[in-house]
Structure 1
């Protein structure tokens, strides 16, 4: 799936959330879309979060 297709799908989901709900509901849908995007990037290996997640055993 290309980035433009993904952008259209996210925009469509946000548009439906705003059309059939309120601004708050649209922001919630946007937040979950962002969370899903970050999880997908981590699973694909494009985003490395190891510097933000500390290993507690190494600090002892």
Structure 2
């Protein structure tokens, strides 16, 4: 299991533990799952945060 998969799984589990039931819980799981995925991809080296913060100065 890669760190991307572990990060996604961790985010989803934390989201489920944080909120049970309703649309708010769905949104919490969605956000925390996405955050876990992003962290896992960063740790795998598949996400370059410098591209997100770099600005074109032209």
TM bucket, shorter chain = 0.5 to 0.7
Gapped runs of 5+ residues in structure 2? none
CA RMSD of aligned residues (A): 3.0
Decide which structure has the larger Cα Rg and report it.
1
Shift in Å, 1:22: 0.4
The TM-score, its normalising length taken from structure 2, stands at 0.54
- Any runs of at least 4 consecutive aligned residues in structure 1 with deviations exceeding 4 A, and if so which? none
- How many correspondences in the alignment? 47
The TM-score, its normalising length taken from structure 1, stands at 0.53
The aligned residue for residue 28 of structure 1 is 28
The aligned residue for residue 37 of structure 2 is 37
Gapped runs of 5+ residues in structure 1? 55-60
